[in-house]
Amino acid sequence: MAILALLLGGAYVAMMSASPERLPAHNLNLVIGLAVMWVVANLPPQRMQMFALPLYVIGVLLLVAVELFGEISKGAQRWLDLGFIRMQPSEIMKIAMPLMLAWYFQKREGSLKFRDFLVATALLAAPVGLIAIQPDLGTSLLVTAAGIFVIYFGGLSWKLIVPVMLLGVAVIVGVVAYEKQICADGVEWPGLREYQKHRVCMLLDPSSDPRGKGFHTIQSTIAVGSGGIVGKGWQQGTQTHLDFLPERHTDFILAVLSEEFGLLGVILLLVLYCLLIGRGLMIALSASSLFSRLLAGALTMNFFTYAFVNMGMVSGVLPVVGVPLPLVSYGGTALVTLCLGMGILMSVQRHRKRVS
């Protein structure tokens, strides 16, 4: 709880500088998130198993509804208006996916076969495919990571993982080596939208379009580098307060922290993240059932994925994919989802000596 309190306190300080006009909404999101976390923390893990299948099915059906009836905004079809609430169903899968797979492996405990991993992969592929076609690359990446972590912790052999990793490395090397050819106008990338291609190409050479598609990356790296060791001081960041830094309250809030608190501030944030991730993995190791262990381990590593992708994006070593900085960025849905995950970890810890 102390680590969580420090992270949320630091997030509040950053929000006061990055976007003070959003503090009332941030306060409301925080209250809702903490309330959800408290309720879930008092719910036994064995009770959560009852919600795994229904929540997964509801989530997939809502994703199908988004594809059929969803609202289109900024070229993406991600929202569903149910009349009494406007929601983004893909967020549900960040919790429903690891919950479902942990429940599945719990049911198959002691009799796992290769086909069970194929079934788990199919369960993962269905919602990820529906999210990817919205398109929402950031959320599909996080849902994929959550599912893969459960499958890996469930006992997937390294013999199957290594070839995929080598293929990924080969693709990255190929993209870097043939950047000019594949990033040329008119060249289509199979399976990706045009804007997604541009995000990768701008990562490789943001100076090719400094006032357009490369603007986010360039201004972010300037903000990060200009903070130096100790930073310019709270609310003294020029990139932030002269409106050079885009999305400074959401995806690029780390650049605000870097500019105003410098390398020391970022190191402190990294230490807090490492402590929280380490604590989560310890909770997973001491869990009393396979379900609790897989769920806690996957949620902890997904938190790591949030932080890793956002920091890589802000520092210019990963493409911009719209992943928030966990527990720090502004955003009600993401904050509530992360608090829900923290509540599940607390529940696993609290009920670790009970039979699940």
Query: Which single residue is written with the structure tokens 């200009």?
Result: 226
In this predicted structure, what is the pLDDT of residue 85? 67
pLDDT in tens, 195-247: 777 778 877 777 777 777 778 788 888 888 888 888 888 888 888 777 777 77
- Find the mean pLDDT for residues 169-187: 81
Whether residue 14 has pLDDT greater than 50: yes
Contact criterion met (CB below 8 Å) for 250 and 330: yes
Structure tokens at 331: 């955003």
Q: Report domain extents, the chain.
A: 1-42+215-356, 51-144
Cβ pair 245, 252 in contact under 8 A: yes
What backbone phi and psi angles, to 5 degrees, belong to 72?
Answer: -100, 125
SS3 content of the chain, % helix, strand, coil (to 5): 70, 5, 25
Give percent of the chain above pLDDT 90.
28
Instruction: Specify the pLDDT at position 298.
Output: 93
Strands of the sheet containing 71-73, edge to edge, are 71-73, 76-81, 86-87
Please give the DSSP secondary-structure letter assigned to residue 230: T
**DSSP symbols for 93-145:** HHHHHHHHHHHHHHHTTT---HHHHHHHHHHHHHHHHHHHTTT-HHHHHHHHH
Please report the pLDDT score of residue 252 as a whole number.
87
- And the tokens for 104? 């599945």
Inter-residue contact 323 to 313 (CB < 8 Å): yes
Answer with the residue of higher pLDDT: 74 or 340: 340
Q: What is the C-alpha separation between 138 and 117, in angstroms, rounded? A: 24
| Contact between 24 and 300 (Cβ < 8 Å) | no
Residue 355: predicted pLDDT: 43
CA distance 246 to 235: 16
> H or E stretch including 316?
none
pLDDT of residue 356: 41
pLDDT tens digit sequence for 256-294? 898 999 899 999 999 999 999 999 999 999 888 899 999
Mean pLDDT of the chain: 85
Residue 316 pLDDT? 80
Give CA separation, 260 vs 10, 100, 144, 222, 264, in Å. 12, 42, 34, 12, 10
Rounded CA-CA distance 141/134 in Å is: 13
